[in-house]
Amino acid sequence: MILFRFIVFGFLSVCLQVLPIFVLAGGTDKKEVSIYDFKVIAMNGKEVPLSDYKGKVLMIVNTASKCGFTPQFEALEALYKKYKDQGFVVLGFPTNQFAKQDPGSNKEIANFCQLNYGVTFPMFRKIKVNGDEADPLFVFLKAKAPGFLGTERIKWNFTKFLINKDGEVVKRYAPSTSPKKAMPLIESLLKN
């Protein structure tokens, strides 16, 4: 009986994770959802379709301004500057879900990133990455690249997802992993 409950609970958990992706794909439509099906909101309020980044290698990161990992902005910016002319883009998504480490307005966050770290890569409006109000993009990313021991939940700020030129989620990096550790894989993806 316990095994039966475990199996049913596991099945329902998977269904609840996949349902938002299924709905985004048009419900009964058999088309598989792609990262390019999502739209995000830039800091200036403009809607940006991720299809604008087709053919590019992407690193999508949930960020925070008052976190022990905040200095990673410097490494992310260095990667962006080094590889942007080859087709690499960092996309930053602030979140206040972890110890309220990004409480400012979108304008304050954008100013902080630019003034303190010289961030020139695209930053988007503050979102939630976990829970019932999680942004659909992060629901998709977590499903495609689960974390340690298969858990999908984002553990902390600066979880990084690497996306290839075809829009496939290739790797998930833990918050403590320096963005520079992704350089060999970024270079490989840019060559393909």
Q: What is the structure's pLDDT at 8?
A: 43
Q: What is the structure's pLDDT at 150?
A: 75
Q: Which CATH superfamily is domain 34-191 in?
A: Glutaredoxin (3.40.30.10)
Q: Which of 59, 60, 61, 67 is catalytic?
A: 67
Q: Where are the domains of the chain?
A: 1-28, 34-191
d(CA 33, CA 24): 7
d(CA 53, CA 179): 20
Q: Whole-model pTM? A: 0.82
3-class state of residue 91 by DSSP: strand
3-state DSSP percent of the chain in helix, strand and coil, to 5: 45, 15, 40
Check if 113 is active-site: no
Q: Are strands 88-94 and 57-63 parallel, antiparallel or unpaired?
A: parallel
Other CB atoms within 10 A of residue 107 CB: 10
Question: pLDDT 10s per residue in the chain (192 long)?
Answer: 554 444 444 444 444 444 444 445 445 556 788 999 999 999 999 999 999 999 999 999 999 988 888 889 999 999 999 999 999 999 999 999 988 888 888 899 888 888 888 899 999 999 999 999 999 999 999 999 887 777 777 899 999 999 999 999 999 999 999 999 999 999 999 998
Mark out the alpha helices in the chain (DSSP H runs): 2-24, 72-83, 106-117, 136-144, 183-191
